[in-house]
Structure formats: structure tokens, C-alpha cells
Amino acid sequence: MRVILWLSLAISLFAQQEDTNPQFQELLKIRRLYVEKLAGGDTAVQIRDILIGALQASRLFTVTENPDKADCSLKGSAEDLVFTDTFQSSEGIQARSQIGSMRSSGSNRGGAGFSVGEQESSRIAERKHEATLAVRLVNKDGDVIWSTTQESLGAKFRGASADVAAKVTRQLADDFARARKLNPASAPAPVSAATSRH
């Protein structure tokens, strides 16, 4: 009985601590979001565009191209690396048998030999992509209110860049939903399709 009491007390304290998390309250204040240029290689520009599309489709915020009108900025870095994954294996089996006989006075000689061998080797080289996206939401005061780092080797029906942008958007949507659940009074309504194009 004491264990149940302590467990329920710990759960309620954890719930209260999460409820008073100022980052969740700041997350719910975002209405307009500006996505800054991402640091990284040439692929960072493409990943930024894919991320903007994913954020726009989520309808959590109005995505704006004007940083002055934004409540919050999304900053970070992105990279989509191409590499070759190589698998090489080699197997072999050998069998040998020798029989011999020799006599010296009568000069009898004999001999036999048998040898079998098989060798098999394979080499598979596959070109792959690995995308990495590390982003953070920064409010007008310069405070980081949310951050995540996601990686992807690609999904079944989309490339690594699109998959990593979807993972970031899904993580943000999940955290936004959790914040909305903890603070239902301050939760904004989702952005409608008509207002998200401005």
C-alpha cells in the first residue's frame, strides 16, 4: 500500500513539474514561424524547403518568409551525405586425399591423389543517403524554447531528406500536442488552410 502511495505521489509531482514547464507555455504562444537558412552543405537549402513544406502541411503555425512578422524562428543545420555501403564476403572449402605405397627391394610403387576445392566470393556496393537535421525554435527574446536532432537513412517511399523533415515535424507536432494537453486554456486553434497561405 505504501508503494502505491509513493508511486502516485511521484506521478503527480512529475505531472505538476511538466505542467509548469515554461517551454511548453512558450511553444503554445507561437502563431507565425520563420525558418532561417540552415547551416550545412549544399543540401541544406533543399532540406530547408522540404521542412517548410512539412511544417506548412502540419498546420501548427503560419509559416512566413518575413522574419519581422514571426513570433519565433527555426534555426539549425542540415546535411544529406551520400556514401557507399560495401559488403564483401568470401567462402571456400578444400578437400584432399593422398594414398601412397612404396617397396624398395621388389620395386613396387603406387600412388593416388584426390583434390577438390570450391571458392565463392561476393561484393555488394550500395549507394545510400544519410540526412541529419538539428533544429531549435528561438523566440524574439533569443531563448531556445524547443530543439531536436533527427537522422534518417530514408524511408520506404521517401528519401532521407524528406524523411528527416517529416521526423522533425512529427516531433514538433507531438510536443505541441502534449503542451496543448497540459495547458488547454492557452492552446491556439490549428491554422486553417485559408490563413496559412498569407
* Mean per-residue pLDDT of the chain: 81
Which pLDDT score, from 0 to 100, does residue 78 have?
94
Pairing of strands 109-139, 62-64: unpaired
- Domain boundaries 20-83+129-197, CATH class: alpha beta
Which pLDDT score, from 0 to 100, does residue 136 have?
95
Task: Assess contact for 59 and 191: CB atoms under 8 A.
Answer: yes
Pairing of strands 32-35, 62-64: parallel
Which pLDDT score, from 0 to 100, does residue 154 have?
84
pTM: 0.65
Pairing of strands 39-40, 62-64: unpaired
Domain ranges of the chain: 20-83+129-197, 87-124
Give the whole-number percent of the chain exceeding pLDDT 70.
79
Provide the pLDDT confidence category of residue 9 given band limits of 50, 70 and 90: low
CA dist 65 and 70 (Å) reads 9
